[in-house]
Amino acid sequence: MKITIFHYFIRQAMVNIFENRLVHLIGIGTMSIAFLIFYTFILIFVNLNYWTEEQGRSLTMSIYFKGEPDRVVIENIEKELFLFPGVTIKGFVSKDDAMKSLRRKLGDKAGLLDGLKENPLPASLEIILSRDKDRDSLPYQLKTKLEKIDTVDEVQYSQEWIRRFQTVMEAIKIVGMIFGGLLFLAALFIITNTIKLTIYSRKEEIEILKLVGATNRFVKIPFVIEGSIQGFLGGAVALIILFLVYIIVITRIDIRIGFASLDIVFLSPQFILFLFFMSVIIGFIGSTISLGRFFRT
């Protein structure tokens, strides 16, 4: 018996959507735009977080030299570095090697470098520092020690910009919560008004159902299902558009910090399921609010 009633509610909701398809299409389209903006912001946030975590797995340090150092200078610095735990020497990059690497990264635009009279790029020694909370001060100690060497011009390490990046991330989180709250309210407003239009268009039918003994719950359930379906479809359309843009456009964009290329990732399957669930919940809440107002009047 319960299964039969459930089938009735589903069928009634689908009939209502079909009979008021123009209103529902407008509602779904408007919701899709709101969800698309929100999901785009989430995708940006997910990638910022991903880049921070990836760069934070290990710290890199670049020791830039004044001119081209001889082999003895490099070996002496390497001996000093081996005294520090968690330090791995990646290798020495000469001025010529740095220029060749830059030309490869520039690709078709490498011809821009032909006008240079001399090589402006410094030679460097690249090292990797393992992450260890007990040795959090190690980069500062190394930087201070290395910058005292006469042949060293400058020392840069990734933790400096990672910390600045994390500060930006905190600001983005606050903006994201405010922005997400506004979009949540916008989606609720859209669904509430869409369901309200369908309710008032079937006002006489609802009154007849109540006259023959139908309870408020019996009348409300098909409309709640309509709102949930509308929320689901709005979220689905937004995710499909975002995925197509990601495949066609975003994956072809080369994002770099300095010369480090950054991969762009899409939302995980678990996150996508959560967004679908959230869109259904928004539809459910919106339709419930609309029904509550109608039955109170």
Long-range interactions of 265-274: CB distance < 8 A, separation 24+ = 265/46, 265/47, 265/50, 266/43, 267/39, 267/42, 267/43, 267/46, 271/42, 271/46, 272/239
Contact 65, 151 (CB under 8 A): yes
At 143-193, the pLDDT tens digits run 778 888 888 888 877 666 667 767 777 787 788 778 877 877 877 787 777
Domain ranges of the chain: 2-54+163-296, 58-130
> Which stretches of the chain drop beneath a pLDDT of 70?
1-3, 54-58, 112, 131-138, 158-162, 165, 251-262, 297
Q: What is the pLDDT of residues 85-118, one digit of tens each?
A: 778 888 888 888 888 887 887 777 777 677 777 8
pTM over 0.75: no
